[in-house]
Structure 1
Amino acid sequence: MTPAPHRRGTPAALAHRGFSREGAENTLDAFRAARDLGYVWVETDVNTTSDGVVLSFHDDTLDRVTGRSGEVSNLTWEQIRSERVAGAGCITRLADLLTELPELKLNIDVKDEASVTALPSLLHELGAVDRVRVTSFSESRRRRTLRRLRELAGRSAPTSSGQGGMRLLLVCSWLGGPSWGLARRVAARWIEPFDTVQIPRRHRVRGGVEVELVTPRFLDFAHRHGIHVHVWTVNDAAEMAELLELGVDGIVTDRADLLAGLLEQRGQWPPSGG
């Protein structure tokens, strides 16, 4: 199989939870820092409080980034709002991110069950459906979030596959031939269609063996079926360059500064809004 050619367009650049070298992830300051570097797309996560406030927050508990214990789903916004992330910025409501930084587009990972209904309602209320890509590691949450969004807004948002869709695409790329069309029809009840797959470059399997996932064969297969491939989370400039030469369509990174610098050297900065 012929390797995927290098794509000369502008790759998607996604600042993972914004940009903060101090660990103040998913805060307005981190998202502003990414914007100031020239980013159009940022990656974020959502969890929802007990009183229905959608947060830009990765974990289901406060423990790791605030030092306070407690599950987000068991706390109200009033109980959470004064907490600091890495001792710096406050926890961010998704509504504030959308309204205070209207120039940004958001790749949103739905982390919890409450967000399946709360997120579509918020996006519809703020008219922000066209500014997001919706994804989740859970295919069920992704599918139900997208369907609820269609019910409210009359249209869906761009979407990246969950784990089930990613695995299906990987298996079909190994099988080759007409496998994808058949697999999509068989799995249609469980796996919502997707235009993008966001995937690690490698995966460690039993015995500690690392398997290369993002290969020329996989990229060629995905591109032939109209699926963009974004790789996460890449923080080394040399590896970023390797992946871009390989033909990936986008990179998700904690080191938004390094990726911006590399793309500028390649004449691919600033990024497009696509």
Structure 2
Amino acid sequence: MVRFPLLDRTVRTPQALPGELRVRTLIPGLLGAGWRTLRTGGWRLLALYAATQALLLVLFSPLIRWMFTEALAAAGLHAVDSAALTSIMGNGGSAAWIAGLCLLAIVGVGGQLTLLVLAAARVRAGLSLQPAALVRDLGSVLRRAPRLSSLPLVWYLFLVLPLAQAGFFSVLTHSIAVPNFVTGELLKSTPGLVAYVLFLLVIGTLGTRFSLALPIFALGRVSGSRAMRLSWLVTRRTDPALLAAGAAAAAAAFVGGGVLVAGALLPVLAVDLAAPGLASVTAAFTLGAAQVGGVIIAGSFVMFLAAMLIELTVRSLPLLPQDLTLSYSPERAGRSSETTATLPERSRRGRALLTVVVVVPALALGGLNIPVMEGLQQVPQTLVLAHRGFSDGGVENTVSGLAAAAEANADLVEMDVMQTADGGFVVMHDASLSRLAGREESVKDLTLAELRAVTVSDQRGHRDTIPSLEEYIRAAQELGEPLLIELKMHGDETADYVPRLVSELESLDALQENIYHSLDKDKAEELKRLRPELYVGLTMGVAGLAAPDTTADFIVVEEASYTDAVRDSAWANGMEIYVWTVNGADGIRNMLRDNVDGIITDHPDTAVRDRAGMGPEEPMGSKLYDAVMRFVLIF
């Protein structure tokens, strides 16, 4: 039995908070523990972090994608959209594949984070980080994982942590987040803003209050549910200090990231001026170095946090039940001299290993990055579409918003068409008037004349009236602004919704000059059947691994669902791909760099300006900055 010094204690729970858990003592104690662990574990901890991330990326991610493809095939599909989800989960074979890939992801993420906690604990105790010892330790913990009592930990690792913006801990969870289109809609109204802030407060509180669950589970030999309860008990009194120490660690990582960006850009800026012909190659290898540096910073941050959580767990033993002891149960692997070293530069062996784990990957990545940087020479052909007009100049889906989008030089304006109670058409996105007009009525219950008399307003203080489709089309024609018209459904449309819409647009001489899309696959394909010459798209709230089987000419994917695989699949099938709603500065530039066919954004002015600045004449430093922000792990 190998027991940690200072970890194996049985004490009575005191009434008063021990001195070592008081804020003034605890904050420096947590930070000191994190620093000592990093200094002692050095490159070995960082190499372990990098190796686990690489394993998940190279092995687990392809397996999960393959299993998801098999799940689609079992349901007779080769791609997924919102409508296909029911078919997938309703098919026994598909459900089995989905269950299998979920289990694989749980094993991957749970095993990775547990291994990192165990490694930090071994360093703290002065024990070896030999692979065989780590594998034995991990196996002893994972044997308890299949129990039903471990399910709360799964919920914490796969939902709470990612939604609390901590998904960067693992490459398999970094993309789990509230989709931008959801947060974007919430932030457009005061009640939505309040709801979103409350959500962040709740999810953040859960994230910190359960933060000791994994260390207690891994080191304390308790069930997952009990580990969750004990974490909640302890952090009730230590949460402020933990938050403060965590904020300090995050600030240090942020500063490190800033230094990394500056260090990557300066050489390329110099080469831009002195030898422009070498700029792309220089940028490629600088990006490779930055990618390795990003792994180092991210790994240091993760291991620093793990060490702080272990320290807090140790200090909190007086608050925990007397029967709880924190220990390992592998055979003694022996003390290892590697854990007594500090920085690897202090030994010849350390310098050699440092070269292997840092310099070699940086050079390899640099070579792979050369075509990436050279590919950024092209001028993006991406269309910029103003999402429901331009909200900086008018209320969404109003004539004033349309005019503002035209003034911002948007290539097209995306807008929504909804049917009224008397079969007419208005330009409106929401089925209810509550958000924009403060009224509880629904569009489907009001006539065209009644809706046109409604005044709508937004948080910026803009006011306008709901326009009819005819009014909006006439205004767009006068402005010379083509439209991407979305067929928006509220559920009570007439059976001839699509023919009616086509007839009205024809009467306005506007059918051929605009393009169309819809979330409703049946409506989009009905429009394409009715008028094959029209350019029609299928909007996908959830995209899978490939473009769907559809007669549409293009797909519109939500930004969180956009992947290289979906884009390439669409192009391979002769379809274009538009991405919505792309509002972040980095997101806009990423889509332009990928040269997607169109981006739908609330900030068309920014997108138009960024597109104009890209191309062969653009300084390589600007291109490198975008690449660093996209491909370096900590960003």
> Deviation of residue 253 (structure 1)?
0.3
Q: Please, which of 369, 386, 406 is the counterpart of residue 35 of structure 1? A: 406
The residue that corresponds to 2:509 in the other structure is 127
Size of the aligned set, in residue pairs, is: 233
> Deviation of residue 233 (structure 1)?
0.3
Cα deviations across residues 113-132 of structure 1 (Å, max 9, x unaligned)? 34434311111212212222
Question: Contact 2:558 / 2:580 at 8 angstroms: preserved in 1?
Answer: yes
Q: Percent same amino acid among aligned pairs?
A: 29
Q: Please, which of 546, 559, 568 is the counterpart of residue 220 of structure 1? A: 568
- Structure 1 pair 105/78, CA: closer, same or farther in 2 (3 Å)? same
- Structure 1 pair 73/147, CA: closer, same or farther in 2 (3 Å)? farther
Secondary structure at 1:38 match in 2: coil
Q: Please, which of 510, 534, 537 is the counterpart of residue 157 of structure 1? A: 534
Question: Contact 1:56 / 1:93 at 8 angstroms: preserved in 2?
Answer: yes
The residue that corresponds to 2:231 in the other structure is none
Secondary structure at 1:78 match in 2: helix
**Separation (CA, whole Å) in 2 of partners of 1:160 and 1:244:** 20
Aligned partner letter, 1:242: N
Cα deviations across residues 67-108 of structure 1 (Å, max 9, x unaligned)? 122111211122222211216011011111211221111111
Q: Please, which of 596, 607, 610 is the counterpart of residue 262 of structure 1? A: 610
Aligned partner letter, 1:194: A
> Deviation of residue 160 (structure 1)?
0.8
Q: CA RMSD in A?
A: 2.7
The residue that corresponds to 1:176 in the other structure is none
- Structure 1 pair 107/73, CA: closer, same or farther in 2 (3 Å)? same
Tell me which protein shows more strand as a share of its residues: 1
The residue that corresponds to 2:579 in the other structure is 231
**Separation (CA, whole Å) in 2 of partners of 1:120 and 1:248:** 28
Aligned partner letter, 1:257: D
**Separation (CA, whole Å) in 1 of partners of 2:423 and 2:432:** 16
Question: Where does 1:232-251 land on structure 2 (aligned, <5 Å)?
Answer: 232-251=580-599
Aligned partner letter, 2:446: L
2:425 is equivalent to residue 70 of structure 1: no
Question: Where does 1:11-30 land on structure 2 (aligned, <5 Å)?
Answer: 11-21=382-392, 24-30=395-401
> Deviation of residue 38 (structure 1)?
1.3
> Deviation of residue 224 (structure 1)?
2.2
The residue that corresponds to 2:155 in the other structure is none
The residue that corresponds to 2:554 in the other structure is 196
**Separation (CA, whole Å) in 2 of partners of 1:127 and 1:200:** 31
> Deviation of residue 214 (structure 1)?
2.5
Cα deviations across residues 200-224 of structure 1 (Å, max 9, x unaligned)? 121xxxxxxxxxx323333222222
Cα deviations across residues 52-72 of structure 1 (Å, max 9, x unaligned)? 221110011211111122111
Tell me which protein shows more helix as a share of its residues: 2
Question: Contact 2:380 / 2:593 at 8 angstroms: preserved in 1?
Answer: no
Question: Where does 1:94-105 land on structure 2 (aligned, <5 Å)?
Answer: 94-102=469-477, 103-105=480-482
- Structure 1 pair 9/240, CA: closer, same or farther in 2 (3 Å)? closer
The residue that corresponds to 2:356 in the other structure is none
Gapped runs of 5+ residues in structure 1? Answer: 174-182, 185-190, 203-212, 268-274
**Separation (CA, whole Å) in 1 of partners of 2:382 and 2:414:** 15
**Separation (CA, whole Å) in 2 of partners of 1:246 and 1:199:** 14
- Structure 1 pair 255/9, CA: closer, same or farther in 2 (3 Å)? closer
Question: Contact 2:381 / 2:595 at 8 angstroms: preserved in 1?
Answer: no
Question: Contact 1:25 / 1:85 at 8 angstroms: preserved in 2?
Answer: no
> Deviation of residue 147 (structure 1)?
3.3
**Separation (CA, whole Å) in 2 of partners of 1:239 and 1:172:** 21
The residue that corresponds to 1:178 in the other structure is none
